A and B are shown apart, each in its own frame.
Chain A
Amino acid sequence: MSQLRPELQKICEWIEPGSRVLDLGCGDGALLDWLQRNRQVTGYGVEINQQNVLSCLKKNVNIIQTDLDAGLTDFADASFDYVIMTQALQALHRPDKTLEEMLRVGRKSIVTFPNFGLWKCRLYLSINGRMPVSKALPAQWYDTKNIHLCTVNDFENFCAQRSMTISKRGIVDYNHRPSALMKLWPNLFGEVALYQLDEKKNAT
């Protein structure tokens, strides 16, 4: 598992063996590749970038090349055990709609994103008066793909408003080290946020 980046290692711990998984914005397919070989998982990656798609093919990972912003209409309701989306939420045109779609298609959904409430971001903005640029968010405000950055609190408020049930939460730093500070003040000290959301139960 050590070859996977830290947040993906955490996700692997959450996935039940033998599950059917849809990985949205799956990049080079590393997560699915690992899950297929070590957790008997089946499923598909969804990715738009041509080089990433090629990497998935080389790894023998089922890959569907399509734009996430176009929706998940090709997938039936509750057709996956897990729908995963790592580090892509903040780059979507309508993350709210995609999250709703994930909950429609998957029985469980796992989402990760960089926490914009991190003290470093706050400090950068308050001292420099400019949009934070860091190792994790290296692009400038005008050319960044991250058009919908949010904080841990933003995300949790959103879930509460939409009656989305958070069943697991992981707050880690880029090296996958949870700390006491992060536990106490996740919105201030968490670098990467991981959430597992459960299938929506109809209120009726």
Chain B
Amino acid sequence: MINITTQSVGIVEPKTIHFDEALPLVCGKVLEQYDIVYETYGTLNAKADNAVLVCHALSADHHAAGYHSEEDAKPGWWDICIGPGKPIDTDRFFVVSPCNLGHCSGSTGPRSINPATSIAYGKDFPMMTVVDWVNYQQRLADKLGIAQWAAVAGGSLGGMQALQWAIQFPDRLRHSIVIASAPKLSAQNIAFNAVARQAIMNDPDFHDGRYYDFNTVPSNGLKVARMLGHITYLSDDAMGDKFGRELKNAQLNYDYGVEFQVESYLRHQGESFASRFDANTYLLMTKALDYFDPAEKEGGDLSAVFKKVQAKFFLASFTTDWRFSPERSKEIVSALTDANRDVSYLEFESNHGHDAFLVKNDDYIDAFSAYMQNIEVSK
């Protein structure tokens, strides 16, 4: 049984909205129709000026806060930041948290049935980019009667969406909250994603992305991909503190079984992820990360891109995050100050690596709250 505190949004229920209007995509293809699953927390005010869009990262989805049932072991992925009295205070804000296109938690994605063929899209599902996600999110805003977000917020890949919003629809948001993110991936970031994709695509059960038709899943490949990803989300210190060289059993066996605790932990992480996540979605999400580069159209000059943004920015990074290090956030800050935009940037001490944006930390929560409290909304 869960203990729903006064700071929780409580039991929440996802909603689904169907779009018939075709969505042209960056890759050149068109998605004729699609469903978006989303959750909302709080109440939209009369002027509809208190809406906050929350964007999820690679492996999370629309379930950002609260619980789906009293039996749930864990709340939504950003429950530390969303709820009454929390940074994204649901007593003031109306929060919209959609599941991105291409995902496997309800919105249309590779596992959905392609109306043209009546079988699952599989590898035929068009490639998604952050720009495409912002486009569908803008249509979702229209349907919900939200002309302008009070803020768009996210961490990691979610932060990239918040950044892209300010660039793509400058007058449709007042604040952009970009946490533990980057203006584009580095070669090392892309390399990690490439290895993860190879692990999945080389699994004999992958069947060129058509594994649904073969009634199987490339779970071994997906496990390895997640294990690799997970290492990059943690810091060396955090892993050292948690596991050190601790053994699973009392002594070494001198064989290739699981001997160290860290091996056991990674396998567990891989297995639990592979049981809930779709391999094609993992491929697609890592590609969306790789493609993100809003400065490209300005010849790499990010500050030129920021010249037309209107939103105020709040950026944050964490000291031990090496996936998207503080230096990557500072690149964004530097381009924003060059463009004379309003920005605040904080760097928090944490030993949780990239995952720190999902972990409760008083300095982080207090600063995020202080920023959000200054966002004006009508009664």
Contact = CB atoms under 8 A, between A and B. Distances in A.
Given A75-B334, A75-B337, A58 B370 contact: yes
Interface stretch (B45-53, B187-195, B233-241, B339-347): B339-347
Contacts of A57: 344, 367, 370-371, 374
B334 to A, nearest CB: 4
A69 to B, nearest CB: 14
Main secondary structure, interface of A, reads: mixed
Interface string B314-343: 000000000000000010011001101011
B374 A65 contact: no
B344 A62 contact: yes
A54 B345 contact: no
Contacts of B342: 62
Given A62-B344, A66-B347, A76-B338, A53 B333 contact: no
Contacts of A20: 340
Main secondary structure, interface of B, reads: helix
A54 B367 contact: yes
B213 interface: no
B142 interface: no
Contact of A74 (B334, B363, B367, B373): B334
Given A65-B345, A65-B346, A74 B340 contact: no
B343 A64 contact: yes
Nearest to B344: A63
A54 B333 contact: no
Most chain B C-beta atoms within 10 Å of own C-beta, residue among A50, A58, A64, A76:
A64
A51 to B, nearest CB: 9
A137 B333 CA distance: 35
Interface residues of B, number: 19
A65 B338 contact: no
Nearest to B338: A76
Contacts of A64: 333, 337, 343-345
B182 to A, nearest CB: 15
B370 A54 contact: yes
B32 interface: no
Most chain B C-beta atoms within 10 Å of own C-beta, residue among A20, A42, A57, A63:
A57
Nearest to B341: A62
Interface string B352-378: 000000000001001100110110000
Interface residues of A, number: 19
A140 interface: no
A62 B343 contact: yes
A58 B347 contact: no
Interface in A12-51: 20, 42, 44, 50
Given A65-B347, A75-B334, A60 B367 contact: no
Interface in B40-67: none
Contacts of B334: 74-75
Contacts of A63: 344-346
Contacts of B343: 44, 62, 64
B300 to A, nearest CB: 16
Contact of B340 (A42, A50, A56, A60): A42
Contacts of A56: 344
A163 interface: no
Contacts of B363: 50
A63 B374 CA distance: 14
Contact of B337 (A44, A50, A54): A44
A134 interface: no
Contacts of A75: 334, 337-338
A79 interface: yes
Given A64-B337, A75-B337, 10 more contacts: A54-B367, A57-B344, A58-B374, A62-B344, A63-B345, A63-B346, A65-B345, A66-B330, A74-B330, A76-B338
15 contacts: A20-B340, A44-B337, A50-B363, A50-B367, A53-B346, A54-B370, A58-B370, A64-B333, A64-B345, A66-B345, A74-B333, A75-B334, A75-B338, A76-B338, A79-B338
Interface of A: 20, 42, 44, 50, 53-54, 56-58, 60, 62-66, 74-76, 79
